[in-house]
């Protein structure tokens, strides 16, 4: 049998996911390529222009002007994404940016790199070169700092009684350069830019306050969606936090110059801009839409999604499920393909999943003796969602939003319709998650996927959607 399609699985590429006859039958939903945007031919020259011609309100200084006219020889700190992002833009731009800064007069020993990890764990030793590139890691490793949301913080003020704290290295810098790229984010709307500051380099208390804005009555609040920033309560609160940070830094003489980029799915830079962190984000978002919004003519019965770099644990890979469910029919099936070498990941995510796992364990016993199993499942699904969200909001910690969202998507597709191919989730964590685990021990990930699809094909002839990159935003007609 001939197979088509591919997915990234850790450091491997799985070739041949879906039988060729699915496409021949017209059951593979064709993804129209996004409009796209031309790649930058000369990245070095473009970055030179970006640091000399800022985007922002009247009076916005260029990075070149900041260094040449205002810099007194103190710290120059560049913040970059952590190991949970692809960091293609970081590896391309960071070496050039260092050269340009040296040429303008910033001594190498005064430059720092901050890994903007928010509340995430610190990268492992082997992950730093994947973030920064081998050369930068080897040359600058003594000047690389990982942000800790609970230590080495400077307090700048309060919002609604919550202290706004940022990384001390950033606070002590004369120049701060947030270096980020845009992508869609499932509850913050669009990542990059302001998100590099909050949650990137902020303290846990204010990150928690920002994240709490996502909750509504049951599930997420209105406009808490991927791609939505206008009226999104999370993004609105983020802007308020970042404005305060920028105001306080300006008062003490720290110059902030955002460098923002858009990377296409082929790993090419199609946009670089610099200047005001809000204006660059607003402008470049239009280019992001051209590159990553994919229209489809219908929703899928079955969606198979690869998590790519987000597949290191369930906590991160849940974002791929979120991408998939937006393009899947209610009651459809989603198969997540993610190695999850770090297991569940976030400990608060893991702990909160205990609530729903207890409810579902009891539910399965009730179903065995019930004459109306669908009613039992519906009732227990609502109990699980309500109790999980109640506990999440009672004593919220970063990670507790993920069970709420996971159960929301489970409710959408239905009990037993979330599947996963993985290799890293230990048995004690498997029972906490509402997944159907695909394949037998010893089988390759690819063989597990193929066997699962073949079993479906023997029972029904569904429409499939294959999502190779969870960074896309799928726009499908309403059902």
pLDDT tens-place string over residues 152-189: 999 999 999 999 999 999 999 999 999 999 999 989 99
The dihedral sign for the CA sequence 146, 151, 156, 158: positive
Q: How far apart are CA 136 and CA 159, in angstroms?
A: 37
Q: Phi and psi at residue 296, in whole multiples of 5°?
A: -125, 150
pLDDT tens-place string over residues 49-61: 999 999 999 999 9
| Core vs surface per residue 370-407: b (16+ CB within 10 A) or e | eeeeeebbeebbebbbebbbebbeeebbbbbbbbbbbb
Q: Tokens 């205002």: give the residue.
A: 70
Q: Which of 111, 56, 62 is nearest to 255 (CA)?
A: 62
Report the mean per-residue pLDDT for the chain: 95
pLDDT tens-place string over residues 95-142: 999 999 999 999 999 999 999 999 888 999 999 999 999 999 999 999
471 pLDDT above the threshold of 90: no
Tell me the sheet residues that pair with 421: 337
Q: How far apart are CA 293 and CA 272, in angstroms?
A: 19
Distance of CA 364 to the CA centre of its chain: 33
434 pLDDT above the threshold of 90: yes
Q: How many CB atoms lie within 10 A of CB 344?
A: 24
pLDDT at 428: 93
Q: Phi and psi at residue 123, in whole multiples of 5°?
A: -60, 145
Q: How far apart are CA 455 and CA 416, in angstroms?
A: 15
Q: How far apart are CA 18 and CA 457, in angstroms?
A: 10
Over residues 321-344, mean pLDDT: 96
324 pLDDT above the threshold of 90: yes
Domain 3-32+296-475 has CATH 3.90.226.30: yes
Query: What element of type H or E holds 78?
Result: strand 76-80
Query: What element of type H or E holds 134?
Result: helix 134-140
Alpha-carbon dihedral 149, 350, 190, 407, rounded to 10 degrees: -150
227 pLDDT above the threshold of 90: yes
What SS3 class is residue 155? strand
Say if CB 238 and CB 194 are below 8 A apart.
yes
H/E/C letters for each residue in 208-247? HHHHHCCECCCCECCCCCCCCCCCCHHHHHHHHHHHHHHH
Domain 43-292 has CATH 3.30.1330.10: no
User: pTM for this structure?
Assistant: 0.85
436 pLDDT above the threshold of 90: yes
pLDDT at 477: 87
Q: How far apart are CA 299 and CA 67, in angstroms?
A: 52
Tell me the sheet residues that pair with 165: 155
Task: Return all residues near 288 (Cβ < 8 A) that are at least 6 apart.
Answer: 182, 183, 184, 190, 262
Report cis status (omega within 30 of 0) of the bond before 199: yes
Q: Which of 144, 154, 241, 228 is nearest to 190 (CA)?
A: 228
Task: Return all residues near 368 (Cβ < 8 A) that are at least 6 apart.
Answer: none
Structure tokens at 424: 């890293």
Structure tokens at 364: 């399965």
Q: How far apart are CA 198 and CA 435, in angstroms?
A: 32
Q: How far apart are CA 71 and CA 174, in angstroms?
A: 7
What SS3 class is residue 425? coil
Over residues 203-215, mean pLDDT: 95
Q: Domains of the chain: which residue ranges?
A: 3-32+296-475, 43-292
82 pLDDT above the threshold of 80: yes
| Core vs surface per residue 105-143: b (16+ CB within 10 A) or e | ebeeebbbbbbbbbbbeebeeebbbbbbbeebbeebeee
- More confident site: 35 or 207: 207
Tell me the sheet residues that pair with 3: 19
Query: What element of type H or E holds 23?
Result: helix 20-24
């Amino acid at each position: 049998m001939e197979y088509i399609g591919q997915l990234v699985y850790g450091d491997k590429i799985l070739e041949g996911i879906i039988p060729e006859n699915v496409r021949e039958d017209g059951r593979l939903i064709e993804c129209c390529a996004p409009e796209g945007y031309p790649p930058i031919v000369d990245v070095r020259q473009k970055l030179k222009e970006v640091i000399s011609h800022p985007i922002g309100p009247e009076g916005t200084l260029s990075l070149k002007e900041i260094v040449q006219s205002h810099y007194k020889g103190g710290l120059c700190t560049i913040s970059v994404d952590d190991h949970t992002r692809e960091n293609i833009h970081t590896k391309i731009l960071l070496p050039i940016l260092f050269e340009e800064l040296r040429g303008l007069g910033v001594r190498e020993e005064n430059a720092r790199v901050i890994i903007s990890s928010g509340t995430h764990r610190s990268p492992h030793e082997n992950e730093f070169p994947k973030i920064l590139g081998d050369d930068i890691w080897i040359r600058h490793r003594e000047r690389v700092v990982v942000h800790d949301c609970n230590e080495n913080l400077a307090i700048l003020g309060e919002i609604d009684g919550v202290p706004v704290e940022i990384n001390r290295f950033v606070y002590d810098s004369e120049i701060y350069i947030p270096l980020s790229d845009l992508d869609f984010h499932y509850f913050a709307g669009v990542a990059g830019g302001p998100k590099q500051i909050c949650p990137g380099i902020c303290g846990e208390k204010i990150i928690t306050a920002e994240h709490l804005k996502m909750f509504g009555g049951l599930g997420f609040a209105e406009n808490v969606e991927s791609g939505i920033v206008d009226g999104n309560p999370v993004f609105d609160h983020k802007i308020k936090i970042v404005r305060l940070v920028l105001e306080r830094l300006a008062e003490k003489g720290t110059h902030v110059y955002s460098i923002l980029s858009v990377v296409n799915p082929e790993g090419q830079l199609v946009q670089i801009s610099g200047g005001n962190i809000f204006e660059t984000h607003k402008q470049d978002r239009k280019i992001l839409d051209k590159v990553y919004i994919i229209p489809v003519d219908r929703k899928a019965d079955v969606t198979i999604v690869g998590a790519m770099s987000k597949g290191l644990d369930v906590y991160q890979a849940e974002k791929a499920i979120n991408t998939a469910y937006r393009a899947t029919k209610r009651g459809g099936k989603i198969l997540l393909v993610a190695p999850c070498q770090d297991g569940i990941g976030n400990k608060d995510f893991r702990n909160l999943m205990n609530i729903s796992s207890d409810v579902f364990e009891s539910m399965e016993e009730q179903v065995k003796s019930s004459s109306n199993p669908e009613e039992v499942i519906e009732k227990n699904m609502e109990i699980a969602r309500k109790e999980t969200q109640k506990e999440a909001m009672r004593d919220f910690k970063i990670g507790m939003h993920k069970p709420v969202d996971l159960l929301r998507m489970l409710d959408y597709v239905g009990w037993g319709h979330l599947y996963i191919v993985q290799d890293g989730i230990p048995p004690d964590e498997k029972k906490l998650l509402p997944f159907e685990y695909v394949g037998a021990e010893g089988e390759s990930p690819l063989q597990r996927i193929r066997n699962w699809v073949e079993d479906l094909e023997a029972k029904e002839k569904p429409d499939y959607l294959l999502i190779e990159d969870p960074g896309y935003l799928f726009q499908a007609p309403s059902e």
